[in-house]
Structure formats: structure tokens, C-alpha cells
Amino acid sequence: MNRDFNPPSVSPALRWTGLGLSTLAILFPAFDAVGKVMKIPQVIEATTKLGIPVEQVPGLGVLLLACTILYAIPQTAVLGAILLTGYLGGAAQAHVRVGGPAFPVAFSVGLGVLVWLGLWLRDRRLQALAPLRK
């Protein structure tokens, strides 16, 4: 890998937009993770309706919190985005498996898109890796 690759910085408008989207992409899973770890009854009930045993819910919360923290740290944001994408894909699959409503599936997929869009807008290296074509 070429370590001399140093693309120009992102414009302030793109950076702030990306930071705003990334903040939303951090707040939603962090809130859900804390609810799982603290065993909030509504969160436990919603998770067990997906066929997940009660005793596994806090562990899922810890996993989600770890992925979210990795995403929130700039040096590990790409790894966090990859892990969050996997977690959100599993969440979408769980809702599809039980025949749940479309909104939770769309929300999981949309949040995954938000994770990557926020990161893409604030990181010129990611823009160079995955450019939008005109």
C-alpha cells in the first residue's frame, strides 16, 4: 500500500454534513445498545420477539456498543462501519425471518447507508476509494 497517498482534505460543508450524519448513525445504535445492556423491559421484549433468547440480549448490547464506539473513533471508523453494517444486516434479517413489518427492515438498511454516507462525506480517502461517477 502506498503510504504517500494523501488526498486533499474534504470541504468544510461536506465534513460537517458527514459529521452530522455520523452523529445520527452513532446515537441510534448507542441508544439501542444501552437499552439492551441495561435490560430495559421494552427493549428486551422487542428483541425476544425476534427469537433471540433473553440471556443473549445484554451480550448483543455489548457487541453493538463496541461496534458503535469503533465507528465513533476516527482512526477505527472504517472497521466500525464494516462491523455495524454486519450487525444491521443481521437485524434486518431477523425482522424478515419473523415476518415483521417493513419499517424495522428499512430502518436497519437505512441506518447502514447512513453509516457509510456519513463516513464517505468526511473522509477524502474513502471518496478516492469509492468515487461517485459523473
Q: Helix, strand, coil % (nearest 5) of the chain? A: 80, 0, 20
pLDDT in tens, 1-41: 555 555 567 788 888 999 999 999 999 999 999 999 999 99
| 18 close to 121: Cβ distance less than 8 angstroms | yes
**pTM exceeding 0.85:** yes
Closest by alpha carbon to 112, among 15, 36, 38, 21?
A: 21
Which pLDDT score is estimated for 68? 98
pLDDT in tens, 63-105: 999 999 999 999 999 999 999 999 999 999 999 999 989 999 9
Which pLDDT score is estimated for 3? 57
Residue-range domain boundaries for the chain: 28-129
